[in-house]
């Protein structure tokens, strides 16, 4: 399903109506065929790129005065760089298929009230030198450039990634089917984090109902009415996160020997169950089928009128598995040495964050210098050990 186009604001419509080559690509505004002079005193054509401030499907006034540029650095007609607008130089990928070479800064006292004023001002500064060499050059061509909707799993644009200019890094997470086995405290927070990434599909496996105690260790806030007739966990969470994205698939069943084959379609699996025999079925299958996965565990106990405990994040890939069975127990009714019935929301959230950060490292999203395959966090001494 294609993502709907953002509705152009009146200022962008004005750019189009006046004949500028305008394109909206994701959360960026592009104006191409902008004439400028290069260092060899030759007229060339480049593209101005501005991030858009978007509220759902509406474009709001510019958030800053900086623009990016595709092309060599614009110069005066004598070939010297226009340093008055110089901000940063260097090849930078803003988004998939969108590579820029420079960033310019030319801020009026009160900023730019709209994108028409912003883009035409930069065009004026850059193109004036080209016009002095050739009065016939212009950025106004009346050539229509169709803004094509991007294929996306999100129901609205990820302006957070665009604003931080990390769209190109986020692409590394695309093209993946993710399985989450167990939607308890930690599993539900794993979903919360993974749902905000551009993975192709998320599959949820859990046969439990979303009961009242779950409300106090999971993200969000259910209503009293929802708790009176508890829904299946996977249905409850799928409905919530489907407001944000598509391709969330609910499997309201526990994984058993009879249905574990459903995990064969997954590219990566998060295992967040505390039942030993069920965990064994899942892990045996994932290992036998060459799947990478992360298993999480959490154990909290009562100390001297306070709580202490350990969180565990264990990674397994086809290249390294020999450590896992030394760390994970498959005893009946418990996960391992790091398991207990006490669960606290912030610890579930932290455990999920450790797991998702490690998964993103495996994908190349985060830099990974240590390549650890097991990590424990001890609460009382605030110690993280690999």
**Of 86, 118, 153, at which residue does a domain stop?**
153
Report the chain's mean pLDDT, rounded to a whole number: 90
- Give how many domains the chain has, as a whole number: 2
Same domain, 133 and 224: no
pLDDT at 274: 86
pLDDT at 127: 97
Model confidence pLDDT, tens digit, residues 238-279: 999 999 999 999 999 999 999 999 999 999 999 999 888 999
**Of 153, 186, 208, at which residue does a domain stop?**
153
Same domain, 136 and 194: no
Model confidence pLDDT, tens digit, residues 44-64: 999 999 998 877 667 888 988
Same domain, 128 and 202: no
Instruction: List helix spans (H) across 114-216.
Output: 115-133, 159-164, 167-170, 185-194
Which residue has tokens 């006292």?
A: 109
Query: Does residue 4 fall inside a structural domain?
Result: no
Per the structure, the complete domain to which residue 90 belongs is given by 10-153
Model confidence pLDDT, tens digit, residues 274-322: 888 999 999 999 999 999 999 999 888 888 899 999 999 999 999 999 9
Cβ atoms 158, 170 nearer than 8 A: yes
Query: Does residue 164 fall inside a structural domain?
Result: no
Cα dist from 40 to 33, 83, 85, 123, 155, whole Å: 19, 16, 19, 20, 47
pLDDT at 159: 67
CB atoms within 10 A of CB 1: 10
Same domain, 139 and 217: no
Same domain, 146 and 209: no
Picking from 4-13, 87-96, 144-153, 311-320, which range would have the lowest pLDDT averaged per residue?
144-153
> Is the model more confident about 1 or about 82?
82
Query: Does residue 160 fall inside a structural domain?
Result: no
Same domain, 259 and 365: yes
Same domain, 51 and 98: yes
Name the nearest CA neighbour of 295 among 281, 279, 284.
279
pTM above threshold 0.95? no
Same domain, 44 and 112: yes
pLDDT over 90 percentage in the chain: 72
pLDDT at 6: 58
- The CATH number assigned to the domain holding 194 equals 3.40.50.720
Q: Report, as an integer, the average pLDDT of 58-78.
A: 92
Same domain, 144 and 196: no
Query: Does residue 186 fall inside a structural domain?
Result: yes
Query: Does residue 161 fall inside a structural domain?
Result: no
Same domain, 145 and 207: no
By the 10 Å C-beta count (0-12 exposed, 13-18 middle, 19+ buried), 45 is classed as: middle
Task: Quote the tokens at residue 163.
Answer: 């604003």
pLDDT at 1: 43
Model confidence pLDDT, tens digit, residues 328-360: 988 765 444 444 578 899 999 999 999 999 999
Label residue 182 left, alpha or beta by phi (over 0 means left) and psi (-120 to 50 means alpha): left
């Amino acid at each position: 399903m294609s993502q709907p186009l953002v509705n152009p604001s009146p200022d962008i419509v004005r750019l189009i109506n006046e004949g500028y080559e305008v394109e909206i690509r994701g959360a960026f505004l592009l104006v191409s065929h902008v004439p400028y002079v290069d260092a060899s005193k030759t007229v060339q054509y480049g593209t101005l790129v501005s991030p858009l401030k978007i509220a759902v499907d509406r474009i709001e006034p510019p958030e800053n005065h900086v623009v990016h540029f595709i092309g060599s650095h614009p110069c005066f007609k004598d070939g010297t760089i226009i340093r008055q607008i110089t901000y940063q130089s260097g090849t930078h990928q803003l988004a998939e298929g969108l590579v820029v070479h420079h960033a310019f800064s030319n801020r009026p006292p009160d900023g730019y009230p709209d994108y028409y004023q912003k883009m035409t001002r930069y065009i004026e500064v850059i193109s004036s030198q080209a016009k002095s060499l050739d009065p016939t050059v212009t950025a106004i061509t009346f050539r229509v450039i169709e803004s094509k909707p991007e294929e996306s799993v999100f129901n609205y644009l990820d302006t957070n990634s665009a604003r931080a200019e990390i769209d190109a890094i986020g692409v590394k997470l695309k093209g993946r089917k993710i399985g989450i086995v167990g939607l308890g405290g930690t599993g539900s927070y794993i979903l919360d984090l993974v749902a905000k990434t551009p993975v192709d599909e998320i599959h949820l496996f859990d046969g439990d109902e979303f009961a009242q105690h779950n409300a106090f260790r999971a993200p969000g806030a259910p209503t009293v009415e929802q708790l009176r007739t508890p829904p299946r966990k996977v249905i409850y969470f799928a409905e919530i996160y489907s407001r944000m994205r598509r391709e969330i698939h609910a499997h309201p069943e526990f994984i058993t020997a009879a249905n574990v084959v459903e995990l064969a379609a997954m590219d990566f699996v998060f295992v967040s169950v505390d039942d030993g025999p069920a965990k064994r079925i899942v892990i045996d299958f994932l290992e036998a089928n060459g799947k990478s996965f992360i298993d999480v565990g959490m154990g909290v106990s009562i100390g001297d009128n306070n709580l202490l405990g350990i969180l565990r994040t264990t990674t397994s890939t086809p290249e390294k598995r020999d450590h896992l069975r030394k760390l994970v127990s498959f005893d009946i009714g418990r996960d391992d040495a790091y398991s207990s019935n006490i669960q606290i929301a912030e610890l579930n959230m932290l455990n999920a964050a450790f797991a998702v950060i490690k998964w993103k490292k495996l994908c190349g999203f985060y830099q990974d210098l240590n390549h650890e395959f097991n990590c424990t966090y001890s609460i009382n001494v605030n110690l993280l050990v690999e």
